[in-house]
């Protein structure tokens, strides 16, 4: 092949990037392209920021390899085909993705390429194991995690691709200006890009041994925080899983949850809007004041408020806090999981359709949980996963003066102490 265009989407890396690696191995000239799609812009200021930082990093890396990242604006299909024709490309490559939107984009791109007699190919790379690659004997996807995990851990994983050594761009097309990096909404949000992500991975591997015992410790903050880098493909999930080693270990198991939700979304693309479990009882309340108290972290339940404040401050929330806050919204307040999903979708740097929807449905009891009526008593969770109250004091400064575990139940404090705290009573008592 003479010239290939590689359309980047959320696979913003050069290491183990199958579409890029294959294009570089088979074509003389390669055009790395990213199209800023107005249809996808403005959903999350935090993710817009992370994306643009990742694009800047990717461009710098590609330039270091002798190439560049071309930037266009508009419909990704029209822009990709326009550029492919401009450089007289004979091939277009992209990473396969599972959302309605991504699948439609891939189908349209494939059709347009065919119309212009350009070879088109979609590559793996967004998950460790391709969604749809593993199927149970009685269905098109796994509905329950544990058997999926068994099949996943025992499957043959593809071999990771090395980063290309050199990229040769054809002369001619302008490279296009990188979009400016906006502020985002969360002051403590992590910075995007493969370079930062790889550094984070390297540092994190040194802490891996602690993960099994401490990943649920809210104050310990002992999880990898790699999720935004996986969300934007700054890191290859296969590389992360392989680097972690033990396939049966607790960390790699969490990566399998990610793949699990992808294969569910692949089989059930309405996951963000429609109850996955047929016949799930959906009788939600719609209470704007309660929703607002939850969103802003003023429910009067400290462990819930702490999680919601962390989300706003960092564009990220500890997994245990996600479980507690989502459980509180759906099981205690009885509010619709879709409202929680869209609030998380606005703030989370790692927010994506399969994982956000899959986890929300799991907690709400409409999804893949085999125990859909499971409760999440926030108080019990608080005492178990934040026994000294440190996590709450960190994120709810109004309660910083309350020592120890008493911080979880400010309503039990002596009246005189309570009166001095600028903190509301629990929603259910108001
Ligand atoms: P670690 O504990 O270090 O785990 C390593 C990786 O495994 C994570 O980066 C992530 O890619 C994957 N992982 C871990 N737990 C899960 C899980 N339960 N489901 C799927 N993948 C998992 N994760 C997202 O990536 N995007 C989301 O939009 C998202 N929304 C969520 C919404 C709710 C209501 C809940 C309960 C969980 C959600 N999660 C989501 C899953 C999980 O909370 C985050 O992946 C995790 O907290 C990210 O932090 P980490 O990278 O430090 O995780």
- Give the Å distance between the CA of 225 and the centre of ligand 1: 9
330-386 pLDDT, tens digit each = 999 999 999 999 999 999 999 999 999 999 999 999 998 888 878 889 999 999 999
Same domain, 117 and 131: no
Stretch 43-70: mean pLDDT, rounded? 98
State the total domains in the chain.
3
* Whole-prediction pTM: 0.98
Please give the pLDDT value at position 368. 86
**pLDDT bucket at 3, cuts 50 / 70 / 90:** very high
Residues 417, 320 within the same domain: yes
Residues 388, 185: Cα–Cα separation, whole Å: 30
CA distance 355 to 272: 10
User: Is residue 356 assigned to a domain?
Assistant: yes
Ligand 1 atom closest to Cα of 229? 9
Looking at the structure, tell me whether residues 147 and 57 fall in a common domain.
no
pLDDT score recorded for residue 350: 98
Q: Residue 135 domain-assigned?
A: yes
Q: How confident is the model at residue 190 (pLDDT cuts 50, 70, 90)?
A: very high
> Whole domain around residue 366: which residue ranges?
288-429
pLDDT 10s digits, 233-271: 999 999 999 999 999 899 999 999 999 999 999 999 999
- 247 lies in the same domain as 321: no
pLDDT, residue 371, reads 84
Ligand 1 midpoint to CA 227 (Å): 6
> CA 214, CA 405: separation in Å to the nearest integer?
19
Instruction: Please give the Cα distance from 149 to 50 (Å, whole number).
Output: 30
164 CA distance to ligand 1 centroid (A)?
Answer: 30
Cβ proximity of 88 and 117 under 8 Å: no
Which residues form the pocket of ligand 1, taking CB atoms under 6 Å from any ligand atom? 215, 223-227, 230-231, 254-255, 257-258, 261, 319, 322-323, 326, 344, 348, 350-352, 355-356, 359-360, 363
Please tell me the distance between residue 109's alpha carbon and the centre of ligand 1 in angstroms: 31
Residue 168 in domain: no
State whether 312 and 372 are in the same domain. Answer: yes
């Amino acid at each position: 092949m003479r010239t290939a265009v590689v359309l980047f989407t959320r696979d913003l890396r050069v290491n183990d990037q199958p579409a890029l690696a294959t294009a570089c191995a088979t074509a003389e000239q390669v055009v790395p392209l990213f199209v800023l799609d107005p249809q996808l812009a403005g959903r999350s200021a935090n993710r817009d920021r992370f994306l643009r930082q990742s694009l800047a990093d990717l461009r710098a890396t590609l330039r270091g390899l002798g190439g560049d990242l071309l930037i266009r604006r508009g419909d990704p299909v029209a822009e990709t085909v326009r550029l492919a024709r401009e450089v007289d490309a004979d091939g277009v490559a992209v990473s396969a993705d599972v959302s309605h939107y991504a699948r439609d984009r891939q189908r349209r791109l494939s059709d347009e390429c065919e119309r212009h007699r350009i070879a088109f190919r979609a590559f793996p790379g967004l998950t460790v194991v391709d969604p749809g690659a593993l199927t149970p004997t009685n269905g098109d996807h796994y509905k329950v995690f544990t058997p999926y995990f068994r099949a996943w851990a025992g499957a043959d994983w593809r071999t990771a691709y090395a980063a290309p050594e050199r990229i040769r761009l054809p002369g001619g097309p302008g490279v296009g200006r990188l979009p400016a990096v906006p502020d985002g909404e969360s002051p403590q949000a992590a910075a995007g890009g493969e370079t930062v992500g790889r550094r984070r991975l390297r540092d994190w591997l040194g802490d891996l041994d602690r993960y099994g015992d401490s990943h649920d410790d809210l104050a310990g903050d002992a999880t990898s925080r790699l999720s935004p880098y996986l969300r934007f493909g700054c890191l290859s999930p296969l590389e992360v899983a392989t680097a972690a080693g033990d396939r049966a270990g607790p960390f790699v198991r969490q990566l399998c949850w990610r793949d699990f939700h992808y294969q569910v979304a692949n089989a059930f693309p309405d996951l963000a809007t429609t109850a996955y479990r047929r016949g799930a009882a959906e009788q939600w309340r719609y209470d704007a004041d309660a929703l607002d108290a939850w969103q802003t972290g003023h429910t009067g339940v400290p462990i819930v408020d702490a999680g919601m404040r962390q989300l706003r401050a960092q564009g990220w929330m500890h997994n245990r806090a996600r479980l507690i806050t989502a459980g509180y919204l759906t099981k205690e307040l009885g509010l619709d999981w879709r409202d929680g999903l869209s609030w998380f979708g606005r703030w989370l740097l790692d927010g994506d359709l399969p994982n956000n929807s899959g986890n929300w449905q799991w907690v709400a009891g409409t999804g893949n949980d085999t125990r859909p009526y499971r409760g999440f008593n926030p108080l019990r969770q608080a005492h178990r996963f934040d026994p000294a109250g440190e996590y709450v004091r960190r994120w709810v400064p109004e309660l910083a003066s309350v020592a120890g575990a008493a911080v979880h139940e400010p309503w039990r404090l002596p009246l005189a102490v309570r009166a001095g705290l600028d903190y509301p009573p629990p929603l259910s008592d108001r």
